[in-house]
Structure 1
Amino acid sequence: LCWGYYPLLGYDADLNMSHVLATEDQYPIDAGVLMMLGPFSMDFECSLRFECTITISGIGLASTNKIYLIESALGRCGMTGVPVLDAEWSTITNPAAVIQDSEGLYNTYKLGTALGKSGASHRICWAHNPPEEEDDGTPLSDPASHFSVEIDPDFLWIRFTAIVDCVLGRICTIT
């Protein structure tokens, strides 16, 4: 992290002040180290009708972390007014709290068993310590707005299909 005593400013065609590209020599003072905490961007998919557990990676993950799923086509992480998932997704935990794994890390989330639509695409949004309720104690009216970090923009739910061999004339059981 560097600091400069006189950042270079410029003006655009409408005489509005705007920042122009700065060069390294304009920020000669080392002001320290900046470390961003949170999850890394990752890709996930889960199978419908099977337990879905995801494990994320990141820096400084904590016991207060949660993830929240939103339909990819209906909004982005951190946006206000994003609708909650419809009834087809009522069997998953949303938001999902982090679970401490056997190594003491806070990076595992159990979403539950989804019965929704095959090929559905959701965004996985993350928050360090989202509120449980509004300040007045009522349920959150806009939960998606509290989850502003996007882990996966295209989390897919796939239908598990099995390859089964059966012999004509014999009993064949598929479960």
Structure 2
Amino acid sequence: MPIRSPHGRSAAYRSLWQWPLRSPVRLVVVAVLAVAAVVAVSIGLGSLRAESAPLGSPAGSGVATTDRPTAAATPSVLPPVPELTPTTLPPSRAPQEALQVASLWSRAWVRPAPGVTADEWLAGLRPYTSEEYLGVLAAVDPGNIPARRVTGEPRPVRVSPRSLQVEVPTDALTLRVLVVDTEQGWRVAGYERA
């Protein structure tokens, strides 16, 4: 006789699910049967895979007789990569525009006169600084800069076709300025103490 009401259907399902929980023996028997069913299914699937594999495959006889390499038998080896060496140029080949940008940037970087705000100091650096580096310089307090003036000409230290490092002497320290060739021209993209 079919179960027609939702209450009757839920009661029937509830009685099926509660049956193993009525005694510890039933629960153990159901658990053992469930584990046995899972093991039987996995063994059955494994034997199906072994039967469907060709004879020369690793799942078949264990001896590979085909000429086609398998992923497990052949390790993948990448071709050797030559060591990357950056192109360096002699310091005499440093572009004059880049050296001029390093000099103008350094003169704008030193501690500003009293009364100059951080925004005004940053605006003075803007024409010579890359857009990405302006965000970093926005966090700098110009009152903490130890140098008050540039004391010499910029000297190229490392020159590449599209970037160079320039040392600029000041009255407190020597700056090492990184100047890069951008779409807007040569711009400063970083500095550190030399």
After TM superposition, is the score higher than 0.5?
A: no
Higher relative contact order (CA 8 A, sep 6+): 1
The structure whose residues are more often helix, as a share, is 2
Band of TM-score, shorter chain: under 0.3
The structure whose residues are more often strand, as a share, is 1
